[in-house]
Amino acid sequence: MMEVFGVIGYPVGHSLSPVMHNAAFRETGYNGIYVPFGVRPENFESAVEGLVALGIKGVNVTIPYKEKITEFFRQEREVVEIGAANTVDLRKGICYNTDVDGILRALRNSNVDARDTNVLVVGAGGAAKACVYALRESNRVSITNRTEERGREVAKKFGIEFVRSENLSAMKFDLVVNATPLGMKGFPEKLPVPVEVLKSKPIVFDMIYNPPETPLIKKAASYGCRTVSGVDMLVHQGAKAFEIFTGRKAPVDVMKKAVISELKKLI
Ligand SMILES: NC(=O)c1ccc[n+]([C@@H]2O[C@H](COP(=O)([O-])OP(=O)(O)OC[C@H]3O[C@@H](n4cnc5c(N)ncnc54)[C@H](OP(=O)(O)O)[C@@H]3O)[C@@H](O)[C@H]2O)c1
């Protein structure tokens, strides 16, 4: 029987997950279909109950429900630490945060050895916390954020250093990660870090995938920095979710091709 999966969020019209997962189902011959579930906040609880009642097998979770969803299911360790989930196995009743794997696999795939390096994470939201969680054990991680109080809270929680943005220019990092929407389509084109940070040629990882070549990625490349794209993170977090959903190895290249061709339509 065909198994139904989906993404729950509001709005979800922009989500690339249906295209990515349906391409993976086709490629692997898995008898599944993946659909968007746009759910208004006032209907969220009944929608989650409905997903279970209807026998939906698994969902991804996007804005604004990544925190709220954790109240409904057992939480994998990374969800407990980060406080947000993006994938639920509805059969097992467990929620996961596959952004952690998305980050680690995207870096590995770009031949970035993120061990024993000085890392700067820009931002203090869910994506930034997933990044700090993923990298803090094997690296020296610092965080900076527009709202200092929020940045300091995350720094304290994970036992890392908070750096004020005005101090960044004088500092050197091996890896800089943008986990803010600065540079995303529809947001200001401002760089998330002062250009001085790029002069020491850190590897620059921008989590934004639309556009795939952000102003930060372009500027970093012009300074001779190696770059890692948010498209890779998107595909690898999706690949991990696919593996949770199906128990099969994800066809990463096919998923990436589907995402890139969809993104081209949006530009
Ligand atoms: N590639 C992927 O698979 C993937 C996965 C997840 C997320 N992302 C991307 O990662 C980014 C962050 O996502 P999130 O879920 O962590 O969002 P979030 O929880 O809303 O956090 C956003 C962060 O960005 C900062 N920020 C927002 N607007 C800013 C501005 N104009 N100037 C400076 N800082 C600003 C916020 O700072 P304040 O604390 O001051 O508000 C906050 O730290 C988004 O662009 C998202 O698309 C990508």
Annotated active-site residue 240? The verdict is no
Residues 83-104 have pLDDT tens digits of 999 999 999 999 999 999 999 9
Ligand 1 near 180 CB (within 6 A): yes
Ligand 1 near 75 CB (within 6 A): no
> Is it the case that residue 223 has pLDDT exceeding 90?
yes
Asked whether the CA dihedral 111, 116, 119, 124 is positive or negative, the reply is positive
> Is residue 194 left, alpha or beta, with left meaning phi > 0 and alpha meaning psi from -120 to 50?
beta
> Is it the case that residue 243 has pLDDT exceeding 90?
yes
Mean pLDDT computed over every residue of the chain: 97
CA dihedral 164, 113, 259, 221 (to 10 degrees): 60
Measured from the Cα of 151, ligand 1's closest atom is 39
Measured from the Cα of 188, ligand 1's closest atom is 31
pLDDT band per the 50, 70, 90 thresholds, residue 168: very high
> Is it the case that residue 25 has pLDDT exceeding 90?
yes
Nearest C-alpha neighbor of 58 from the set 80, 38, 32, 87: 87
Distance CA 75, CA 255 (A): 27
From 66, 129, 240, 256, the catalytic residue? 66
pLDDT above 70 covers a percentage of the chain that reads 100
pLDDT of residue 132: 98
Region 11-32: mean pLDDT is 97
Region 243-247: mean pLDDT is 98
Secondary structure (3-state) at 39? coil
> Is it the case that residue 266 has pLDDT exceeding 90?
no
- 134's enclosing H/E stretch is helix 126-135
User: Tokens 């390096």 correspond to what residue?
Assistant: 117
Region 210-235: mean pLDDT is 97
Nearest C-alpha neighbor of 98 from the set 250, 262, 234, 252: 234
Region 191-218: mean pLDDT is 97
* Choice from 190, 206, 207, 232 to test ligand 1 binding pocket (greatest atom count within 8 A of CB): 207
Secondary structure (3-state) at 4? strand
> Is it the case that residue 237 has pLDDT exceeding 80?
yes
Measured from the Cα of 234, ligand 1's closest atom is 3
Distance CA 236, CA 240 (A): 6
> Is it the case that residue 267 has pLDDT exceeding 80?
no
Domains of the chain, earliest start first = 3-97+232-266 (3.40.50.10860), 113-225 (3.40.50.720)
